[in-house]
Structure 1
Amino acid sequence: MDQEWIYGRQAVLEALRSESEIEKVLFAEGIQKNGIKSLLDQLHERGIPYQWVPRSRMDQLASGGRHQGVMARQAAFRYASLEECFKRASDRGAPPFFLLLDGIEDPHNLGSIIRTADASGVHGVILPKRRAVGLTPIVAKTSAGAVAHVPVVRVANLSQTAKQLQSQGVWLVGSDGEASQSYLDVDYKAPIALVIGNEGKGIRQQMKKRCDFLVRLPMLGQVSSLNASVAAGIFMYEVVRHRGLA
């Protein structure tokens, strides 16, 4: 597989903790060793090679991203299968809890959503292959390493996948600013897939028709909508509240 660089101390540390296949770690020359002791201990324990390089070289590899003097090279990010997500829910003894992201294009939004998905116990995040961002080093960095812990599925046809989920007893709840029903009026204890739309266009009409419920968040200010990652976070924690996990 192609190789990917992940960067940032927390992202690299989480990749190591998840036992991802790390080939090599780079540290910037002059970095304080006290701040990377836990990283060095894990590298020694697992026998992963590392080296010290000029910070300018790391700036180049990170394409201007904030690497904090730490980068790791690993095989390309691995996508999970839908079956793995259902198994994750079963292993935890919980009703399936998924996210369907319909056209998220900003890697920072995706990274933030995955970070919250990890914190709120989501069993899988499902992305379309086309017209949407996939797993990238920026996503990994923004997620603070959560990409190493949350299964992410990439599918050719999101609508068909939604139909498949429904056939397996999963209810689809879509976020739509024009919906008549409040997000507070849904029972999230059942198997749920939250559908979050594109940052500007929202959920596509085809997916809206597929959803079992369309719900809205209250907007009391002058701006008509929330950032996609913020809206997703509110919905995810409403599931947590309904399931008594808080």
Structure 2
Amino acid sequence: MYGFHAVSTRLKMAPQTLLEVLFDPARRDARMRSFLAKVEEAGRPMVECDDARLSKLSGGPRHQGVVARVAPLPARHSLDEIMEEVESAKLDAPLVLALDGVTDPHNLGACLRVADGAGAQAVVAPVDHAAGINATVAKVASGAAESVPYLMVTNLARSLNELKERGIRIIGTSDDAEQTLYDIDLSGPVALVLGAEGPGMRPVTRKACDELVRIPMAGAVESLNVSVAAAVCLYEARRQRLAKLPD
């Protein structure tokens, strides 16, 4: 794991999983000093390390002078457990992001970051043909890989049907849908389903959707990057929910 956001979030949420924090002693700015003070306060081991080794460990130069060796987080809750917690809390209607066939770790990291910002309670993806959490995902997610449950399920269509049984509408996105994102009510319990760029959702996933919507495109391009599309969809849901709050 590398970068200030990713390592700081892990330090805040699960400090015991930080096995070793490697840092560049040549970087002495206020941000680094503040970060190291928090690591020291948490009692985690710190090791000075030159830039070349940090780059090798992180797979590139974008480590910001910070790399951490980490233990795996405890296993994520099941989707059922998460939905039960959401329903019992009665703070907000369930909002789930489902990703079908998103294999690029940069896209996954950006989707997790958007999901966290928009208040989604979980991101769901199939075990096969989907990116898992790795150092690149954690870096791009800027801490959201730690705060938003990412659940990889054996059968995505079956999981969507289980959400239906809980009264959650399954809204898929497709370029050929008749209605647009802005034509439907997203203020209630909703799972938004996005497919990979190019092929989109698989037919079995599309069949599991209650409705299909498209994002209206006014320019020359035909579609958006999946993480941008996720942002548009999730924040439209958030906008509608905020609009229904009492003054």
- The TM-score range, normalised by the shorter chain, is over 0.9
Matches within 5 A, 1:16-55: 16-20=11-15, 21-55=17-51
> Aligned residue for 1:3?
none
Assess if the C-alpha contact under 8 Å between 1:80 and 1:152 holds in 2.
no
Residue of structure 1 equivalent to 2:211: 213
| Cα deviation 1:183-241 (Å, max 9, x = unaligned) | 11111122100001012211111111110010001111121111100011000011111
Looking at structure 2, the residues matched to 132 and 69 of structure 1 have their Cα atoms a distance apart, in angstroms, of 30
CA contact (8 A) 1:89 1:97 kept: no
1:15 paired with 2:5, answer no
DSSP 3-state at the match of 1:235? helix
Question: Are the equivalent residues in 2 in contact too, given 1:27–1:52 (CA < 8 A)?
Answer: yes
Say what the alpha-carbon RMSD is for the aligned residues: 1.6
| Cα distance in 2 for residues equivalent to 1:213 and 1:65 | 44
Partner AA of 1:132 in structure 2: A
Q: Structure 1 CA distance, aligned partners of 2:226 and 2:150?
A: 18
Q: Superposed, which structure 2 residues align to 1:160-199 within 5 Å?
A: 160-199=158-197
Match of 2:54 among 49, 54, 58: 58
Deviation at 1:88, TM superposition (A): 4.5
Whole-angstrom distance in 1 between the partners of 2:90 and 2:29 = 38
Cross-structure match for 1:89: 86
* Percent of residue pairs identical: 39
For structure 2, list consecutive stretches of 5 or more residues without a partner in the other structure. none
Partner SS, residue 175 of structure 2 = coil
Q: Identify unmatched segments of 5+ residues in structure 1.
A: 1-5
TM-score normalised according to structure 1 size: 0.93
Tell which deviates more after alignment, 209-218 or 183-192: 183-192
Change (3 A) 1:207 1:65: farther
Question: What's 1:76 paired with?
Answer: 72
Quick one: distance in 2 between partners of 1:188 and 1:89? 17
Aligned to 1:122: 120
TM-score by length of 2: 0.92
1:233 aligns with one of 231, 234, 237:
231
Asked if the contact 1:127/1:134 (under 8 Å) is kept, the reply is no
Give the number of aligned pairs: 241
